[in-house]
A and B are shown apart, each in its own frame.
Chain A
Amino acid sequence: MSAHPSTLYSETVLAHNRTPRHCGCLADATHRGAAENALCGDQLDFALRVRNDRVEAAMFDGEACAIATASASMLADALHGAPIATVAAIAAELHTMFAGGAPARGDFAAFAELRHHPARQRCALLPLHAASQALAGAAA
Chain B
Amino acid sequence: MNRLDDIPALRAEFPQLARRIHGKPLVYFDNANTAQKPQLVIDAVSDYYRLHNANVARAVHTLGEEATTLYEATRDKLARFVGARSREEVVFTRGTTEAVNLVAYSFLRPTLKPGDEILVSRMEHHANIVPWQLVAAETGAKVVPAPITASGELDVEGTVALMNPRTRLVGLVHVSNALGTVNPVAEIIAAAKARGIATLIDGSQAVPHFRVDVAALDCDFYVLTGHKLFAPTGTGALIARRALLDAMPPFMGGGEMIRKVSFEGTTFNDPPHKFEPGTPNIAGFIGLGAAIDWLQAIGMDAIAAREARLRDAMRAALAAVDGLRLVGDARARAAVFSFVVEGAHAHDLATLLDHDGIAVRSGHHCAHPTMQFFGVPATARASLAFYNTEDEIAVFIDALAKARRMLA
Q: Does B346 contact A (CB under 8 A)?
A: yes
A17 / chain B contacts, CB cutoff of 8 Å: 407
Q: Does A39 contact B (CB under 8 A)?
A: yes
Interface window among B80-88, B109-117, B143-151, B363-371: B363-371
Q: B368, A67: Cβ atoms under 8 Å?
A: no
Known: A17-B407, A39-B363, A41-B363. A63 touches B377 (CB 8 A): yes
- Chain A interface size, as a band, is 20 to 34
A123 / chain B contacts, CB cutoff of 8 Å: 347
Q: What is the chain A residue whose CB lies nearest that of B371?
A: A41
Q: Does B51 contact A (CB under 8 A)?
A: no
Binary interface profile of B, 349-369, with partner A (CB < 8 Å = 1, else 0)?
001100100000011100010
Q: Report Cα–Cα, A9/B355, bound state, in Å.
A: 11
Interface residues of A: mostly helix, strand, loop or mixed? loop
Q: Does A138 contact B (CB under 8 A)?
A: no
B378 / chain A contacts, CB cutoff of 8 Å: 40-42
Q: Per a CB cutoff under 8 Å, which of B348, B364, B406 touches A65?
A: B348
Q: Report Cα–Cα, A4/B21, bound state, in Å.
A: 11
Q: B351, A42: Cβ atoms under 8 Å?
A: no
Q: Per a CB cutoff under 8 Å, which of B355, B364, B377, B407 touches A43?
A: B377
B377 / chain A contacts, CB cutoff of 8 Å: 40-43, 63
Q: Report Cα–Cα, A123/B363, bound state, in Å.
A: 12
Q: Report Cα–Cα, A129/B345, bound state, in Å.
A: 20
Binary interface profile of B, 200-228, with partner A (CB < 8 Å = 1, else 0)?
00000000000000000000000000000
Q: Does A78 contact B (CB under 8 A)?
A: no
Q: Report Cα–Cα, A28/B114, bound state, in Å.
A: 47
Q: Which residues of A contact B (CB under 8 A)?
A: 1-2, 4-5, 8-9, 14, 17, 39-43, 63-67, 117, 120, 123
Q: Which residues of B contact A (CB under 8 A)?
A: 22, 345-348, 351-352, 355, 362-364, 368, 371, 377-378, 406-407
Q: Please, could you name 17 A-B residue pairs with CB atoms under 8 Å apart, sorted by A?
A: A1-B22, A8-B351, A17-B407, A39-B347, A40-B345, A40-B346, A40-B363, A40-B377, A40-B378, A41-B363, A41-B364, A42-B345, A42-B377, A64-B345, A65-B345, A65-B346, A120-B351
Known contacts A9-B406, A14-B407, A40-B378, then 13 further A-B pairs from the complex at CB < 8 Å, ordered by chain A residue: A2-B22, A5-B352, A5-B406, A9-B348, A40-B345, A40-B347, A40-B363, A41-B363, A41-B371, A65-B348, A117-B351, A120-B347, A120-B351
Return the 10 tightest CB-CB contacts between A and B, nearest first.
A41-B377, A65-B345, A40-B378, A5-B355, A65-B347, A66-B348, A40-B363, A65-B348, A41-B364, A41-B378
